[in-house]
Amino acid sequence: MSLHAEPISLALSMPFRIAHGTSTSRDNVFVHVDEGVGVAAITPYYPAQVPDVLAYVARPEVAAALEGDPLLVEDLLDRLPSGPAPARAALDLALHDRWGKTLGQPLYRLWGLNPERAPLSSYTISMADDAEFRQRMQEAAGYPVLKIKLGSGSLERDEALVRMAREAYPGSLCVDANAAWTANEAAAIIPRLARYDLQFIEQPVAQHDREGWHTLAARLPEDMPPLIADESIHDSRDILPLAGAIGGINIKLAKCGGLREARRMIALARTLGMKVMLGCMVESIVGVSAAAHLAPLVDFADLDGNLLVVNDPYTGMIWDQGRLHLPSAPGLGVQRRG
């Protein structure tokens, strides 16, 4: 069994500004298990960074855990030691990619999923000044779903961004505050934002503010757009404490640790009557393609994280004005350029 890690800095075509800060590049670590490839998407506002991923992959017990029948993916994942979620996600993706390649089928076929049932993906408009924001809205005018990033530090400015978006765009809109508001601020602004006909409102309160989630749910009128938890939901253990306070969850492979845990989260959320969204970081098409294989199981998709990347070494899923064309090649279906 061959195992190695390959860090890379992904350059972005334009600055990506959200409530957590502004990025002009993002770090990824590609992890290779024999012919299988996965990726650890590194996010500046989460603890795990490139050295943590490299250190985990280099641990002897990790290599030892991966020895064995490549078809027994569950057994191999069970043997992995605890570690950073992005690192475990990269190994999970690589093992699933190798599994699919061994069997000669893409993952969605092995899971019995119909790619035609994947929802349309949103396209994200990050925060900017008025002129740049309007320009980005104009460029995205033909897309079926737009997600507007909020959390500017001013509720008035946040509402102004949504107003400008709705004035320019008649299609489906959703917003993401990236944990920028207090429960009181969220209770004040959400009814105002609801007037702009929003598909959902994502992560209005701070990541660890479970009480704030429940307080907000109790204070909002019943006819508000569904509230989707992102930063507050990393894996399946985080879902039950927010039951009754959230309308749905945003699953990201780098947060939860990979495809296996994502499938568990989908099953639990469905049992609780929650909506499910598949999201991604700003990352390589390797990670976005992996998530897309689960898209037929969810209500919302936000799988545009590779579109800003100008030096991605891989190709994979095709994002066609929000339509997700899953690859037919085996495993994740991604290919190395050149």
The confidence band for 19, taking pLDDT boundaries of 50, 70 and 90, is: confident
Structure tokens, 333: 């279906």
Three-state SS at 28: strand
CATH of 3-104, one of 3.20.20.70, 3.40.50.150, 3.30.1300.10, 3.30.390.10: 3.30.390.10
Q: Write the DSSP assignment of 172-204 as a string of letters.
A: EEEEE-TT-S-HHHHHHHHHHHHTT-EEEEE--
pTM confidence score: 0.96
The confidence band for 147, taking pLDDT boundaries of 50, 70 and 90, is: very high
**C-alpha span between 260 and 119 (Å, rounded):** 21
CATH number of 109-336: 3.20.20.120
Average pLDDT, the chain: 97
The confidence band for 1, taking pLDDT boundaries of 50, 70 and 90, is: very high
pLDDT at 114: 98
What is the arithmetic mean of pLDDT over 190-205?
Answer: 98
> Residue 338 pLDDT more than 90?
no
Residue 80's Cα: distance from chain center in Å? Answer: 23
Q: Give the DSSP letter of residue 144.
A: S
**C-alpha span between 237 and 257 (Å, rounded):** 12
pLDDT at 45: 87
Tens-place pLDDT, residues 28-64: 999 999 999 999 999 998 999 999 999 999 999 999 9
> Could you identify the residue written with the tokens 């280099």?
58
Helix intervals (H) in the chain: 50-57, 60-65, 73-79, 85-103, 107-110, 130-139, 155-168, 183-194, 210-219, 253-256, 259-271, 285-292
Sequence spans of domains, the chain:
3-104, 109-336
> Residue 277 pLDDT more than 90?
yes
What is the arithmetic mean of pLDDT over 18-22?
Answer: 89
Tens-place pLDDT, residues 245-255: 999 999 999 99
**Cα separations in angstroms, 128 against 56, 111, 133, 171, 270:** 37, 41, 5, 21, 36
